[in-house]
């Protein structure tokens, strides 16, 4: 199996992929170190591995992955990709955004694809039908918007919303006004991107991923595909592409 690791600021997401591309196992770690790598290789038949990180990777983690893997990829802006990267500053492009775009392109080959990742921040990225990452935008995420409203004002409370909460069009109390303002604002934002893109490119697909995607999915009511593990799927495609290059 292939071991794919997506290391974020607060947690590390890990998946084991079968040869047919399906996920055999999925894990989330609050702390991920070389001991976790050793355990994974002891428990499962892993041949190749890849790690992507937005933080500094512990050298012991890299050493363990390199030691146990037939092929190991430390994903960065120099890693060969199955799509082309048209970003003006590739070294500054988030690896999670690029991996998600590779995953989306694999799901919809030779299609224009809008990728929405609703995590700590919300990113909107676009891959063209010729397999090129065109670019994208970054906006504050749900929790960030709630936190900013609380911290930047004297009286507004810190609000949390439920995933499937039915929010009013206009709140009749401060809590509902904040919750609806943030969640509905993001829903309108997503619809606005989709509408403006359709005016320029009539035919495209849309994929949404990220931990906060369920907050906004039920309010979109548009043709959109939800892929919880899109970044990990993209990492697996990058790993497969690089192992084939080495053969």
Which of 6, 48, 96, 125 is the catalytic position? 96
pLDDT at 15: 98
pLDDT at 55: 82
199: which 2 tokens? 């005016």
pLDDT at 247: 63
Burial string for 112-143 (b: 16+ CB within 10 Å, else e) reads bbbbbbbbbbbbbbbbbbebbbeebeeeebbb
Tens digit of each residue's pLDDT, the chain (247 residues): 999 999 987 789 999 999 999 999 999 999 999 999 999 999 999 999 999 998 888 999 999 999 999 999 999 999 999 999 999 999 999 999 999 999 999 999 999 999 999 988 999 999 999 999 999 999 999 999 999 999 999 999 999 988 878 888 999 999 999 999 999 999 999 999 999 999 999 999 999 999 899 988 888 878 899 999 999 999 999 999 999 877 6
Widest Cα–Cα separation across the chain: 63
Provide φ and ψ at 155, rounded to 5°.
Answer: -120, -15
- The domain made up of 1-74 has a fold known as Nucleotidyltransferase; domain 5 (3.30.420)
Provide φ and ψ at 189, rounded to 5°.
Answer: -60, -50
Domains 1-74 and 83-247 share a fold: yes
Give me the residue spans of the domains in the chain.
1-74, 83-247
Provide the CATH number for the domain formed by 83-247 in this structure: 3.30.420.40
pLDDT at 61: 95
State pTM to two decimals. 0.92
Among this protein's residues, is 117 annotated catalytic?
no
Sheet with 71-74: list strands edge to edge. Answer: 23-29, 12-17, 2-7, 48-53, 71-74
């Amino acid at each position: 199996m292939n071991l794919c690791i997506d290391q974020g600021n607060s947690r590390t997401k890990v998946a084991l992929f079968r040869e047919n591309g399906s996920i055999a196992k999925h894990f989330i770690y609050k702390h991920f170190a070389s001991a976790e790598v050793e355990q994974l290789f002891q428990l499962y038949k892993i041949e190749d591995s890849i790690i992507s990180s937005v933080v500094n990777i512990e050298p012991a983690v890299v050493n363990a992955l390199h030691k146990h893997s037939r092929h190991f990829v430390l994903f960065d802006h120099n890693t060969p990709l199955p799509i082309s990267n048209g970003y003006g500053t590739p070294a500054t492009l988030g690896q999670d955004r690029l991996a998600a775009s590779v995953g989306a392109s694999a799901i919809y080959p030779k299609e224009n694809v809008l990728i929405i990742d609703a995590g700590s921040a919300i990113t909107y990225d676009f891959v063209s039908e010729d397999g090129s990452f065109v670019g994208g935008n970054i906006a504050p995420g749900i929790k960030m918007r709630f936190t900013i409203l609380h911290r930047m004002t004297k009286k507004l409370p810190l609000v949390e919303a439920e995933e499937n909460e039915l929010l009013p069009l206009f709140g009749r109390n401060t809590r509902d006004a904040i919750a609806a303002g943030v969640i509905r604002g993001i829903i309108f934002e997503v619809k606005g991107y989709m509408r403006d893109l359709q005016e320029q490119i009539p035919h495209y697909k849309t994929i949404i991923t990220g931990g906060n995607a369920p907050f906004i999915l039920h309010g979109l009511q548009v043709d959109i595909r939800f892929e919880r593990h899109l970044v990990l799927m993209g990492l697996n495609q990058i790993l497969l592409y690089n192992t084939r290059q080495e053969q």
